[in-house]
Structure 1
Amino acid sequence: MILAAGRGMRMRPLTDTTPKPLLPVHGRPLMQWSMDALARGGFHHLVINTAWLGEQIEAHFTAWPQQHEGVALCFSHEGQDFGYALETAGGISRALPRLGEVFWVLAGDVYAPSFEFTQASVDRFVASHQLAHLWLVPNPSHNPQGDFGLSEDGQALNAAPVKFTYSTIGLYRRELFELPWFDTVPGNPQGTAAPLAPLLRRAMDAGLVSAELYTGPWTDVGTPERLAELNAN
């Protein structure tokens, strides 16, 4: 699942007329870098949630599946269905009927051109008892305190003296978005908006979230300046 529903307020005025995931980085829409990487890794069923200017995202990628044999796209149009974005956990819950028991989740506004989505990563996760597996990155200047800790045995920690930043790339079990962890009906028919971080922190405290550190190129494209810097290099 690729998260592409946000308004991108910090990217204004660029996002007044273009959804942030469609802003170009080195000649490709930002979100397409991850889409192409998923297809290369053999992951052929992609779900994209949208809200702000979501019709542009669907229109832009109409022909994209034809460039990748066996790939299918479907959309969870939160803006059309409810008039607003459902935040990360709410959006995932809305899309659950379109997802499997285990699935990738990543943000459409993060640039990680060297990240590899592999079946081996999925297999290791499936063989574990974890509800989520996160890729963390060294803290960028705009998030110096980080988000989560990382234990020596690969557990993500809610509280730790040293924290890293969540890359927004992770593997998840649908179980995390069902009772008793999440009290919204799968499919989220009522349109409940809910963030992901509190849900992850509860699962971390139960020892059910693993993690690893990713040190390849990674940028949270959150401002016009970061976008300009990426395109200048």
Structure 2
Amino acid sequence: MSRQHFIDTLDAYAVNGRTVQLWLRDDDAIKPTAALSRLLEQSKRWNAPMTIAAIPADATTELARLLIELPLISVAVHGWDHTNHAPASEKKQELGLHRGEDVVLARLAEGLERVAGLFGDRAVPLLVPPWNRIAPALVDRLPSLGYEALSVFGPERDGGPLRLVNTHVDIIDWKGTRGGHPMDSLYAEAAARLGSGNAQSTSLGVLTHHLVHDDAAWDFLDDFFALTADHPACQWVPVSALMHKR
């Protein structure tokens, strides 16, 4: 029923002349893999732009050669090396203040420079914090490093120093199977996101991690792309369109 509710929600959007701007962010890429190739093939098949959040310290030239030829793919900065610096008593965090603000900012500046150098015009000045966590004090400093937007998980909040372009549906069940969530629960989350606002255009960000996808994860993506590709209320957009949305 949740899948049908999502379809009904999209249909209502279409009747009212509203649009859902869809985007997908896939985290943790460092090199070409069979799973990444499968995800990129979905992008090509459905003509759906995707954003690959690459780990700058470990990203390879082989990954750059793969992505540089794919105009539908953009590459964001996934922290520096995806290393946890928080103590065991806290949630994992690379971009906290545990090492001092200046150290973290230096790594983020280096990360942006390396992604731009490796991926050329596929690179976008978008920071994706590992584990979707970043100390608020650091956010205020990001524009001075050249970042134009930040992407974490959850509803966007206005009033920050730079644009938030968040994801809203995480397809992986991190606290349970560590594979894909059941399809109906994912469609329920997507429908809830679309029902939460009244703007003419609403964004819906899907978060994936290709390295841990199981059959449930791939099945959902296949179904989601097929459902949204030709729906009159749906528009798959590059993340740059959301970064500069007025």
TM-score tier by shorter-chain length is: 0.3 to 0.5
Q: Which has the higher contact order (CA 8 A, sep 6+)?
A: 2
Q: What is the TM-score when the length of structure 2 is the normalising length?
A: 0.31
Q: What is the TM-score when the length of structure 1 is the normalising length?
A: 0.32
